[in-house]
Amino acid sequence: MKTPDVPILADPVRGHAIALFSGGLDSALAILLVMQQNIRVTALTFFTHFNSEIRDRATGGEHPYPTAEKFGFTVRLVHLGEPFLDIVRSPKHGHGRNMNPCIDCRIAMLTEAKRYMELVGADFVITGEVLSQRPMSQFRSILNVVERDSGLKGHLVRPLSAQLLRETIPEQNGLLDRTRLGRIAGRSRRPQMELAEQFGLEDFSPPAGGCLLTDVGYSRRLRDFIEHSDTMDFHDVNLLRLGRHFRLDEHTKLIVGRREKDNHGILRNARPGHIILEAQDTGSPIALYISSAGEKHLLEAAAITARYCDARNEKLVMVKCLNENDGRTWTVAPADPEQIKAYIIK
């Protein structure tokens, strides 16, 4: 196996870069190309409430990012926070195939990276982006828009494709040797795999938790929510992950748990004004009735809850309100499957 001509981060350290690090191969290679030129790297891993479960990779005391441990760079976790919800609702550069605002998301991450760069006195920011690897978000024109809108013009380096892009300030001032950066373009992964072999990079992680905004089902629920609500907070985002969702009218929605984990999540994210339902004396999902127009669909909600309990084939099922100091019950026939089809959010 070929090894790099220059050790990773040999003394003396000549500069400091901030990296966007997903944990995946491209961002890891971008970091190593820069570290090979004796530039210290601090990596930022971004996540939002729309990341699917980011499980702790540090099982048994192991480092969650083996590449960082092996090559000696620091990883910091950064949550984009509540402002990102506004980006999701109304992205300047539009949504992708589903509800993913990929361009605006990239700009938001790089804007935060710029702030951190300035805070710690670092010299530039790097990413693992590859020219023309992804449609929409990595064409040359879009890469230029992202650089401009993040305020990083001249200070944003894409090491894997650097020789195919405009020369950056760190290259112009001699901090980076452009000839030792990459000229990768397109969707083939072969150049990255060859580069990984050169660095001895064998145990890189998959990218950090997948984005729910690219998921078809989640995007349908989110789109429906935005169409019927003027506000959105983290409770709403969390509830969209859970169970089956039904639109009973323009002002009323029902969420019915699919599994025990959903039931716990629904209870955890229920808020004052929500009505919690459960079928009695049988295995039952937790259902959450959310309405700004009162309780006119409550019996329908109870019937749908009954349809998903273990007694769904009985003629009548008792459904109880679990709200504190309420305790009302309704005896209902489980909803007809055809009726449910008219309500379920597809």
* Confidence band for 206, pLDDT divided at 50, 70 and 90: low
Residues 176 and 37 sit within 8 Å (Cβ to Cβ): yes
Inform me whether the pLDDT recorded for 286 exceeds 90: yes
Q: Average of pLDDT values for 142-151?
A: 95
Q: Average of pLDDT values for 309-320?
A: 97
Residue 313's nearest CA partner among 276, 278, 279 is 279
Query: Which residue do the tokens 């709200």 mark?
Result: 323
* Confidence band for 135, pLDDT divided at 50, 70 and 90: low
pLDDT of residue 203: 72
pLDDT of residue 139: 83
pLDDT of residue 207: 57
Strand residue runs (E) in 190-285: 244-249, 252-256, 275-279
140-149 and 102-120 are packed helices; what angle lies between their axes, rounded to 10 degrees? 50
Task: List, as one string, the DSSP characters of 30-41.
Answer: HHHHHHTTTEEE
pLDDT of residue 132: 84
Residue 330 vs residues 28, 278, 319: alpha-carbon distances, Å: 57, 10, 5
Strand residue runs (E) in the chain: 15-20, 39-47, 74-79, 124-126, 156-157, 244-249, 252-256, 275-279, 286-291, 317-321, 329-332
Q: What is the pLDDT of residues 30-62, one digit of tens each?
A: 999 999 999 999 999 998 989 865 544 443 444
Query: Which residue do the tokens 């506000």 mark?
Result: 231
What residues are paired with 249 via a beta bridge? 252
**Cα gap 316→311, rounded to integer Å:** 9
Least confident of 35-49, 148-162, 208-222, 266-280: 208-222
pLDDT of residue 233: 93
pLDDT of residue 59: 38
Spans of all domains in the chain = 15-199, 242-343
**Cα gap 321→327, rounded to integer Å:** 5
The answer to whether the bond into 12 is cis (omega within 30° of 0) is yes
Query: Which residue do the tokens 């990083």 mark?
Result: 152
DSSP SS3 for 138:
coil
Least confident of 39-53, 113-127, 234-248: 39-53
pLDDT of residue 137: 61
Vertex 200: Cα angle to 53 and 36 (nearest 5):
95
pLDDT of residue 77: 93
In 10 A of CB 294, how many CB atoms?
Answer: 9
Provide the percentage of residues in the chain whose pLDDT is more than 90.
79
Residue 160's nearest CA partner among 32, 343, 17, 316 is 32
Residue 132's nearest CA partner among 96, 156, 161 is 161
Inform me whether the pLDDT recorded for 333 exceeds 90: yes
pLDDT of residue 129: 95
**Cα gap 107→150, rounded to integer Å:** 5
Radius of gyration of the chain (CA): 25
DSSP SS3 for 133:
coil
pLDDT of residue 36: 94
Average pLDDT, the chain: 90
Inform me whether the pLDDT recorded for 1 exceeds 50: no
Provide the percentage of residues in the chain whose pLDDT is more than 70.
91
| CATH for the 15-199 domain, from 3.40.50.720, 3.30.420.40, 3.40.50.620, 3.30.70.2340 | 3.40.50.620
Q: Average of pLDDT values for 284-298?
A: 96
Q: Which residues of 176-203 are buried (b: 16+ CB within 10 A; e: fewer)?
A: bebebbbebbeeeeebbeebbeebebee
Q: Is the model's pTM score more than 0.85?
A: yes
Q: Average of pLDDT values for 236-257?
A: 97
Q: Average of pLDDT values for 14-25?
A: 94
